A and B are shown apart, each in its own frame.
Chain A
Amino acid sequence: MNKTRFILKSLRYYYKIHIPHFLGVLLCATILTGALLVGYSVKESLREITQTRLGHITHILNSGDHFFESKLANKLKAKLHIPTSSSLLLNGVVASQGGRKRAHYVQINGVRDDFWKLSPKRTVPADWQKDSVAINEALANYLGLKCDDEVIIRIEKPSALPKDTPLSSDSEVTFGINVKITHILSQGEFARFSLKSDQTIPFNVFLNHDFLAREIEKPEQANLLLISQDKLEQQDEKKSFSLQLLNALEQSISLADRGLEIKGDSNGQLSLQSPNVFLPEVIEQLSHDHFQKSEQIFTYFVNQITSGDKSCPYSFISSLSSLSQLGDNEIIINEWLAHDLTAEVGDEITLNYYTLGDYRELNISKQSFTVKKIISNNDPVLSRELTPHYPGLSDSENCSDWDPGLPVNTDLIRDKDEKYWDDYHSLPKGIISLNQAQKLWRNRFGALSSLKFSSTAWTPKTIEHIIIKHTKASDFNLSFNVLKSQAIEESQGGVDFSGLFIGLSFFIIASALCLIALLFVFSRQFRSKESRLLLSIGFPKKWLLTSALYEGLFISVLASMGGSCLGILYCEFIIYALTHTSWQGAVGTANLQSYYSPQTLILGISISTMVSFGTIYFITKKLNAKKVAQKIILSPLKMTEQKPTLLPTILCLGIVYVIVFSGMAQYGQENSALFFGVGALHLVGLLLLTWILLRKYSTPLKENHLSFSSLGLKSCARRPLHSLAIIASLAIGVFLVISVASHQKKHSRHSLDRASGTGGFAYYAESAIPIFHNLNSKEGRYAFSLGENFHDDSFVQLSVKDGDDASCLNLNRVSQPRLLGLKSESLAHLDAFTFSQVHDKASELSSPWLALDSDLGERIIPAIGDAAVIQWGLGKKIGDELTYKDAKGQEFHIKLIASLESSLFQGSLLISQTQLRKLYPSIGGARVVLIDHLKNGNAPDKNILQDRFEDRGFNLIASSDRLERFMEIENTYLKIFLALGGIGVIIGSLGLGIMILICTYERRSQLSLLKALGFNHGHIFQLIAKEHIILLATGTFVGLSSALISSLPLLVTQPGDFPFFSCAIFILLLILVGGCAIFISSYLALKGNILRNIREE
């Protein structure tokens, strides 16, 4: 016989005692491993989703509103010998059934065959033709579409001029294409294609690239360039490739890709222009540094030129860098104008012109000049080529055909004006200094309309060469993102579902560990005679300790291994619940799958072994703390020496009742946390009181009368700390489950409160296509037939810079959330929303909203976000910064200066609209609109609003509903906690049954004695059952009463929202299961011949 044999023999002999212990560890291991597998499954699912949506794409160039030549992809392919593809990516709306059903936020993709080669399957869809139209299953299911169905796709029409410039035409912002569906794509065929880190499935339409390009009048152009280089493994290789890609791009992009063109004019000069009318800022800089000998030209369209009581409508005025001698207040006019205004040199003339405000707001300004010189209409200084091509103007045959987007009163156009247009077309009528022109008319799109070069000194090639040499692709919104690796990183860095489910399953794990501890104690006590014998023989205490630990370790390892297998089932259950039940609200997708890895299983086994063995180790150490002599002599049923004192009990309960009954704290939702603490204190106080009472019952009774109940109480008090442990675990479980249930967030559906999460707004709307009008103006309301029932500030419009959704609906960890550009005073004067935290400097202002306009330094932009987004979505806090790149690819930083409490803006960050437009000039219009209540206080008719904006793909939702959606996530997590916590507490009550079996076995000699004394079976059953019913009832009462105290704010202010029904079901279930466990276990424990024990004494 050696130690190992002794341990193995003991394990075999005492196997019945070890079974409950084994089951406890099994349960613990199941939950722990299952939770780890859930976390792994979610991460792998998100990784798989990323792979599915990006296929073999590793890098992208997304130029948004800026279009480049499609052949850029072929150039890069030739240089780098890797798969590439250029395509079109636009936002649109898809309507079916004659427009009755609509899908908003549809990605409209114009693709070529090489696009499909980057898909997960790397295959072109079968029978893909030039006129094929594919949609994904999500869109098909949403609109109820199948192949051969016809749909209308409505797309924002790209325009040369940004749409919220005054000269941009406001007609035909969108246009529709009728198509017939030919394919419905599956996941492997890029059905899920999306550039956003999001687990939700987007709506996708795929058309032939050339067809779409023609429709949007951008033939042979693209705005998306996709690269596939997924053969590289090492970081160094990937970095090196990124540099290669950048170099290849710089070498490959043409003038056209940069949005530039060089034309010859009638004077034989070369002109550098842009189809977008204005030359980008980088060219302006280049003109100073490298094109000093060129002529910088800025030509603008003015409403009116007046001199005295004479006026001339709608004219072009130019400015030239070569006329440096012209003062800022001087003007050279042509003969025609001089004659029209009867102006002479030295006379004062005034220019009236529009400047751009927000949302196509036109501000009329004027500036006066002194006539310095009058030149001939044919003077070489003046030419038509000075005026860039203005859409809606330059192509018109007559003035009356003008459609420039400005309000043009054709009644003001005279015959002579028509004649001027016929003879001279867009020839400027005057010239001012370039400096003055740029001061007056500079806008975010530029401050030059062209550069002129002498053809003797310059050739197109030399001009192009200088531009290529001294600019970067990123200056023209052409830069690559390493999309795939960033996306994978974001998919892995999101919500930690392992930790989350370990937390949510906390009660099950705690119940299991409590059971393990108690069962192990009983097993050791059951074998105390054996221990005393071994010690009396002379075995060292350490020998006994290590034997016990080895037994415990053996059980822990075996049960953990078994538990990890069961953990797979637990994981399957959780994943099923997350994707097929109301728990789906926590993940926002049905596309999660179970994944397993040996490493996760081994980790689960290791953790559960450590946790369960750690519990056993701790208990064993405590049990073995007595001296050897004491262990031999003393009965194991030694009374505890710990004595509770009254003072802490009085203190705890006193504080509680003072707070509750004195009215010190208001019963409002704002004091929820305080009352939770009060409830917890009440719980502690009652447990201390219970301990005192248990100690009291362990002393002799004063009345010298013994009954079943008093004997039951004495039996509970036999081991006060054990009984207290059972009561406490039940009480804590009941307290937490009910308190948490009562703290589920609810939002008042009809809240007009400005301070609430809705800001007092009736609706929150997002459009697929921007709205360029100011909806608070007459013109804006007229454009959308909105009527007169709105206030002057009924609409708050926000511009959007697309990014990832940082709300709790997105499981990925995003690094660049969507940005919303806001005019701060629009919310400041309404005092809308409530701030949970405000940075010091922002708190000094009258409204934290105004801090969005504060200057934080070079390239640092203040931002406000939802508190949940900042903390959970981004993992940041107030004062932290995020790094973005602007339209030119230059970095800037967003600094978080304030957070909002549970608001509509979850998922995005808010910055100043001015800053947003400065950083991303091409972003125009608003795609998010907050809509207020009408003058009469009612919410506007949703259907009418939806109808008015249907061309923009308007998605309107009641503000309270949007907020509910976000709260639903939190409430879903709480529901999961309640379900799992409830199961944990009920397992704890089942544990009572196991306890009875163990206790009865341990006390068999006592029970045998009672039977010998004449107690019948019923008496003994009654005794055991009453003892444990006391424990169950006490635990339930302590937990329930404390939970009700913690829920007082809700019970007093909104009793209807307290979950009475579910709490009642929970308590009833607890009592039922606990009661059944007690009765069944009592019955089983007393089966067989109890008297045998005393006979065998």
Chain B
Amino acid sequence: MNAPLLELKQVGKIYPQGEDQLQVLDNINLSLQTGEAIAISGPSGSGKSTLLNIASGLDVASSGQVIFQGSDLSHYDDEKLASFRLNQIGFIFQSHHLLQQCSALENILMPTIPLKNSNNSARALELLEIVGLKDRSNHFPAQLSGGECQRVAIARALINAPKILFADEPTGSLDSKRSMEMLQLLLSLKQSQDTSIVLVTHSDECAKHMDKTYTLELGRLQS
């Protein structure tokens, strides 16, 4: 068996609350293989988004290790973490977080700026076509529906061909039909791009399409 692409070892997260402490995550162990899609579900406030943030390098664990391709993310400085987020992962937020002053195409190209890669416009257009918004490339977020914005966000997350795609309830603001379409899109991209997926979702229907499902409850992860 190949070494995992991403591994979480005894990861814990504590938030100080005055004199008390709130343990959000406790002894989380998780591994992700290349091309694997996993779902993490759990009740609200269970720490799913916190787990996702730690795994993607957006947050730092209070204890344990996050190892990506053999390297412990906790040893990364800000620069390396930024480079990790730019080149290795893509993140789809619950709210699309598109830049209002940029068009759909420009929002997709946003992560290419630090790489000073001027050849990504073709890829951006290709991704736009994949998400079904080829004709809306010059439209601004204010001119797109919520679902369309979310699709642009997906395309943005994929522009740099990330190894892992993190999605934090990407269908949270969509109806069931659109949710399934979104899920199918993600899975097709997994197939075509060989991208691993970590999906946080409430929906059992979505979770059952993943290779593995984990449940987070009271800070502990159960498969």
Contact = CB atoms under 8 A, between A and B. Distances in A.
B53 interface: yes
B79 A704 contact: no
Query: Secondary structure at chain A's binding surface: helix, strand, loop or mixed?
Result: helix
B93 interface: yes
Interface stretch (B1-9, B37-45, B67-75, B111-119): B111-119
Interface in A686-730: 698, 700-701, 704-708, 711, 714-715, 717-718
Given A706-B113, A714-B102, A1097-B95, A1016 B83 contact: yes
Nearest to A1091: B58
Interface stretch (A205-213, A503-511, A851-859, A1003-1011): A1003-1011
Interface string B93-128: 111010111110110011111101010010011000
Interface in A995-1026: 1005-1006, 1009-1017, 1019
Interface string A823-861: 000000000000000000000000000000000000000
Interface residues of A, number: 33
Interface in A856-882: none
B218 interface: no
Given A1012-B91, A1097-B94, A706 B106 contact: yes
B121 A704 contact: yes
Given A635-B142, A704-B109, A1097-B95, A1014 B58 contact: no
A1009 B58 CA distance: 11
Contacts of A243: none
Interface residues of B, number: 40
A1094 interface: yes
B19 interface: no
Contact of B114 (A635, A717, A1009, A1015): A1015
Given A706-B106, A1097-B93, A1019 B114 contact: yes
A700 B124 CA distance: 14
Contacts of A1091: 58-59
Contacts of A1: none
A711 to B, nearest CB: 6
A701 B106 contact: yes
B138 interface: yes
A698 B86 contact: no
Contacts of B58: 1012, 1091, 1094-1095
Nearest to B122: A704
B101 A1015 contact: no
Nearest to A711: B113
Interface string B142-181: 1000000000000010001000000000000000000000
B22 to A, nearest CB: 14
Contacts of A1016: 78-79, 82-83, 114
A1019 B116 CA distance: 11
A537 interface: no
Given A700-B103, A701-B106, A1095-B53, A1014 B138 contact: no
Contacts of A1065: none
Contact of B101 (A705, A717, A1005, A1095): A717
A637 interface: yes
Contact of B85 (A707, A718, A1013): A1013
A996 to B, nearest CB: 17
Interface string A1066-1097: 00000000000000000000000001001101
Contacts of A705: 109, 118, 121
Contacts of A1012: 58, 85, 91, 93
A860 B138 CA distance: 81
Contacts of A700: 103, 105-106, 137-138
Nearest to A637: B100
B59 A1095 contact: yes
B87 interface: yes
A708 B113 contact: yes
Interface in A618-671: 635, 637-639
Contacts, number: 93
Contacts of A638: 142
B140 to A, nearest CB: 8
Contacts of A1011: 82
A1019 B113 contact: yes
Contacts of A707: 113, 116
A706 B112 contact: yes
A1017 B121 contact: no
A1016 to B, nearest CB: 4
A1009 B85 CA distance: 11
B18 to A, nearest CB: 18
Contacts of A635: 100, 142
Given A1013-B110, A1091-B59, A1097-B94, A718 B101 contact: yes
A1012 to B, nearest CB: 6
A824 B110 CA distance: 82
A698 B101 contact: yes
A698 B59 CA distance: 34
Nearest to B113: A706
Nearest to B90: A1013
A638 B86 CA distance: 30
Contacts of A1013: 85-86, 91, 110-111, 156
A1010 B125 CA distance: 21
Contacts of A1015: 82, 86, 113-114
A714 B101 contact: yes
A1014 B124 contact: no
Given A706-B106, A1019-B113, A1097-B95, A1014 B100 contact: no
Nearest to A1010: B110
B97 A1094 contact: yes
B51 to A, nearest CB: 12
Contact of B93 (A639, A714, A1006, A1094): A1094
B111 A1014 contact: yes
Contacts of B124: 704
B135 to A, nearest CB: 13
Contacts of A718: 100-101
A170 B64 CA distance: 116
Contacts of B100: 635, 637, 718
A1006 B87 CA distance: 19
Nearest to B79: A1016
A698 B103 CA distance: 10
A1094 B102 CA distance: 19
Contacts of B101: 637, 698, 714-715, 717-718
A1014 B117 CA distance: 14
Nearest to A1005: B97
Nearest to B77: A1016
A718 B142 CA distance: 13
Interface in B170-219: none
B173 to A, nearest CB: 12
B168 to A, nearest CB: 9
Contact of A1014 (B83, B93, B125, B142): B83
A1097 B91 CA distance: 14
Contacts of A1009: 93, 97, 99
Nearest to B99: A1006
Interface centre among B87, B114, B124, B138 (most CB of A within 10 A): B114
Interface in A969-1015: 1005-1006, 1009-1015
Contacts of A698: 101
B158 to A, nearest CB: 12
18 contacts: A635-B100, A637-B100, A698-B101, A704-B125, A707-B113, A714-B102, A717-B101, A1006-B99, A1011-B82, A1013-B91, A1013-B110, A1014-B87, A1014-B114, A1016-B78, A1016-B114, A1017-B78, A1095-B49, A1097-B97
Given A1012-B85, A1019-B113, A1091-B59, 15 more contacts: A637-B101, A638-B142, A704-B124, A707-B113, A711-B102, A1013-B110, A1013-B111, A1014-B85, A1014-B87, A1016-B79, A1016-B83, A1019-B82, A1094-B97, A1095-B59, A1097-B94
Q: Report the 4 A-B pairs with minimum CB-CB distance, sorted nearest first.
A: A1014-B86, A1016-B82, A704-B121, A700-B103
